[in-house]
Amino acid sequence: MPADKTPNGNPETGAFFQRDRLWHPPAFTPTYKTSVLRSPQKALLSLDNTISEITGPVFGHDMLGELDNDLIHNFAKPGESAIGERIIVYGRVLDERGKGVPGALLEFWQANAGGRYRHKKEGYIAALDPNFGGCGRTIADEDGNYAFRTIKPGPYPWPNGVNDWRPAHIHFSVFGHGFAQRLITQMYFEGDPLIWLCPIVRTIPDRAAIETLIAALDMQATIPMDARAYKFDIVLRGRRSSLFENRLEGN
């Protein structure tokens, strides 16, 4: 999949828009306890993008296996499937200019329907599902569209406060066209009351920013008698024109 093209057919090579670090969570968020010792205390050094940041690897659809975007089946024994609420998660990967990001690599991971992760460091008493691994990936099409099937994850208790529970969530890792676009985030589900209690959600200072991480139930994309659908769009950093391709109208 080629990187996004300029009107003259060349790949885009401009610097990325500056990150709004008042919109993202700050590093030091003490109600999320682990951040206390893992947050830099000195100021970041601002650096306009060089070629080391505006470039990045691009992944081809040919690397994908047939079931990479089907978490209901990609770990299941033949003829079996994961237990839980069957859902489709779909959306678009856009940049801040509203342009689709073709070829974006999306990777996702999650707990099973009971909130149990398949990970050796995890000891929650809820049972593993023998037919659920919890990982998947896909690559956005030429317009930035993506979709995958999974089961809806359950909420999950964690040792932060004495009685803290994560809302149901799916972790997303997204790769655009430049290393500086690299982003990891989490998707939440419309209507979940745990969202507004969660110290990790609330590392994000702005309620409007949090709302952009809440996927909407979409009955029109739901497949009757099969799976409900949730829509989740993801926005990566936009990029400026590079000097030699500058047009007055910009982009």
Partner 1 sequence: MVQSLNRLKESPSQTAGPYVHIGLTPNFCGIPGVFEEDLGARMVNDKTKGERITVRTRVFDGTGTPLKDALIEIWQADSDGLYNSPSELRGQADPNFTGWGRKPTDMVSGECVFETIKPGRAPFKDGRMMAPHISFWIVARGINLGLQTRMYFSDEEAANAEDPVLARIEHRLRVPTLIAEHKGGGVYEFDIHLQGDRETVFFDI
Nearest CA-CA partner of 168 in 85, 246, 50: 85
| Closest distance to partner 1 from the beta carbon of 224 (Å) | 29
- Catalytic residue check, 188: no
Among the listed residues 133, 136, 134, the one whose alpha carbon sits nearest the alpha carbon of residue 69: 136
Name which of 211, 213, 114 is nearest 155 in CA terms: 114
Q: Encoding tokens for residue 238?
A: 């936009």
Let me know: does 248 contact 220? Beta carbons within 8 Å. no
Q: Are 190 and 215 in contact (CB under 8 A)?
A: yes
Give CA–CA dist 34/70, Å, rounded. Answer: 32
Candidates 43-51, 79-87, 123-131, 145-153 — which segment interacts with partner 1 by CB under 8 A?
43-51
Residue closer to partner 1 (CB basis): 212 or 222: 212
156 is annotated as an active-site residue? yes
Residue 61 sits in the site that holds partner 1 (CB under 8 A): no
171: annotated active-site residue: yes
Concerning whether 166 is annotated as a catalytic residue, the answer is yes
Identify whether 24 is a catalytic site residue.
no
Is residue 245 part of the contact set for partner 1 (CB under 8 A)? no
| Nearest residue to 151 (alpha-carbon basis) of 168, 139, 126 | 168
Residues 146-205 that bind partner 1 (CB under 8 A): 171, 173, 177-180, 182-186, 200-201, 203-204
Is 45 an interacting residue with respect to partner 1 (CB under 8 A)? yes
Burial class (CB in 10 A: 0-12, 13-18, 19+), 57: exposed
Q: Which of 31, 53, 157, 214 binds partner 1 (CB under 8 A)?
A: 53
Of 91-99, 142-150, 189-197, 216-224, which part binds partner 1 (CB under 8 A)? 91-99
**Residues assigned a catalytic role:** 117, 156, 166, 169, 171
